[in-house]
Amino acid sequence: MNFKLPFVPEQASAAASEVDNLTFFLVGMSTFFTVLIAAMIIFFAIKYRRKSADGVGSSFENSPLLEITWTVIPLLVALFTFAWGLKVFFRLYRPPANAVEYQVTGKQWMWKIQHPTGQREINELHVPIGQPTRLVMTSEDVIHSFFVPAFRVKADVLPGRFTSLWFLPTKAGRYHLFCTEFCGTQHSGMTGWVVVQSPEEYQAWLASAPGPKAPSADGAQLFAQYACNTCHKPGPGGRGPILHGIFGTEVALADGGTVKVDDAYLRESILMPSARIVQGYEPIMPAFQGQISEEAMQQLIEYIKNPPPADAATAGTTPASRGNSR
């Protein structure tokens, strides 16, 4: 029987080898110093043991050189480890500008995923090899945690806010997806797969998968359904600003501060519009907290970030349009 017990999961992303190298270094360094200290304790306990009942140890003088040595060497090792860990951290949590964004919603006990082209999956995510992939995630109920061991990426998925992770798949195959935060009685069953395919296979899968409507198109319907377009009109004169082009900009607040318009700010502006009032606008927008699901929230935000071309053509980007997302 061919029995194989791998020390680490398969490496299937660009960051996997970096994470493993840092882990091996930490394990090796910890093992080395553990053995060294234990050996020194045993050696000194034997060499300098008390040899008679009334024996008295001899005096000795401190060695500045020895004290400097055992202070500086651990300091340099710690600084080296910190710098290496910081490099890996930035590698894991700073996605490239060309990363393709997918929407993920955790729910007891499943993962709901929507592609930028509209296809939907449950407990499975298809991605093409070599494509930087960013997941924008939220939870409909309790705290979950999205973990793909083969990619060496993991992030908590929280109710009431967005978190994200990204990866660059480098090897085709099917890779386990786990929830690693205890989330209820069926936590152990909240698993799935990330399927990495060649670009040709991925395009064929997209063509055969249901749900051709993109998240921004769903968001456009919700934008009209909740009467957002009555205030956020494409031309001047609306009681709210034009939202096209506002994402990623800095806006001035009524209290004199500024805020960057990102996913978290847009979410807050929809649920609690009076939290941070933008300069030049009145707090007249009603709160939608408790009325919009997390999945619908993601679609609305996606629409504001990426309005369809027809809306973009009529929206314009006047300076007033950058004042408020309320």
pLDDT of residue 244 exceeding 80? no
Cα(311)–Cα(244) distance, integer angstroms: 8
Q: What is the DSSP string of 78-135?
A: HHHHHHHHHHHHHHHH---TTPEEEEEEEETTEEEEE-TTS-EEESEEEEETT--EEE
Query: Tell me, what's the pLDDT at 212?
Result: 54
Cα(219)–Cα(301) distance, integer angstroms: 7
pLDDT tier at 310, thresholds 50, 70, 90: very low
pLDDT tier at 309, thresholds 50, 70, 90: low
Residue type, 275: A
Query: Tell me, what's the pLDDT at 37?
Result: 93
Task: Give the pLDDT mean for 218-229.
Answer: 76
Q: What pLDDT digit, counting tens, does each position of 265-287 carry?
A: 888 888 777 778 777 777 778 77
Closest among 237, 250, 245, 236 to 278, alpha carbons compared: 250
Query: Tell me, what's the pLDDT at 266?
Result: 83
Query: Tell me, what's the pLDDT at 229?
Result: 72
pLDDT tier at 196, thresholds 50, 70, 90: very high
Query: Tell me, what's the pLDDT at 63?
Result: 84
Cα(232)–Cα(219) distance, integer angstroms: 14
Closest among 130, 133, 118 to 177, alpha carbons compared: 133
Alpha carbon separation from 263 to 26, 136, 162, 163, 277 (Å, rounded)? 36, 9, 7, 10, 17
Cα(127)–Cα(133) distance, integer angstroms: 8
Contact 117, 144 (CB under 8 A): no
Q: What is the DSSP string of 141-159?
A: SS-EEEEEGGGTEEEEE-B
pLDDT tier at 315, thresholds 50, 70, 90: very low
Cα(290)–Cα(300) distance, integer angstroms: 15
Q: What pLDDT digit, counting tens, does each position of 136-180 carry?
A: 999 988 999 999 999 999 999 998 888 999 999 999 999 999 999
Domains, in order of start, for the chain: 100-208 (2.60.40.420), 215-322 (1.10.760.10)
pLDDT of residue 297 exceeding 70? yes
Give the angle 288-289-295 at the CA atoms, nearest 5°.
90
Q: What is the DSSP string of 9-44?
A: ----BTTHHHHHHHHHHHHHHHHHHHHHHHHHHHHH
pLDDT of residue 320 exceeding 50? no
Residue type, 141: D
Query: Tell me, what's the pLDDT at 313?
Result: 39
Query: Tell me, what's the pLDDT at 62?
Result: 80
Query: Tell me, what's the pLDDT at 215?
Result: 65
Query: Tell me, what's the pLDDT at 125?
Result: 95
Query: Tell me, what's the pLDDT at 281?
Result: 74
The chain-wide mean pLDDT, for the chain, equals 83
Query: Tell me, what's the pLDDT at 210?
Result: 67
Query: Tell me, what's the pLDDT at 89?
Result: 94
Task: Give the pLDDT mean for 221-232.
Answer: 75
> Model's pTM, two decimal places?
0.71
pLDDT of residue 135 exceeding 90? yes
Q: Of all helices (H) and strands (E), which one includes residue 163?
A: strand 163-167
Closest among 127, 123, 126, 125 to 106, alpha carbons compared: 123
Start-to-end CA distance of the chain, whole Å, equals 65
Q: What pLDDT digit, counting tens, does each position of 37-77 carry?
A: 999 999 989 888 877 777 776 777 788 888 999 899 999 99
Burial code (b: 16+ CB inside 10 Å, e: under 16) for 106-140 equals bbbbbbbbbbeebbebeeebbbbbeebbebbbbbe
Contact 107, 183 (CB under 8 A): no
Task: Give the pLDDT mean for 318-325.
Answer: 36
Q: What pLDDT digit, counting tens, does each position of 99-115 carry?
A: 999 999 999 999 999 89
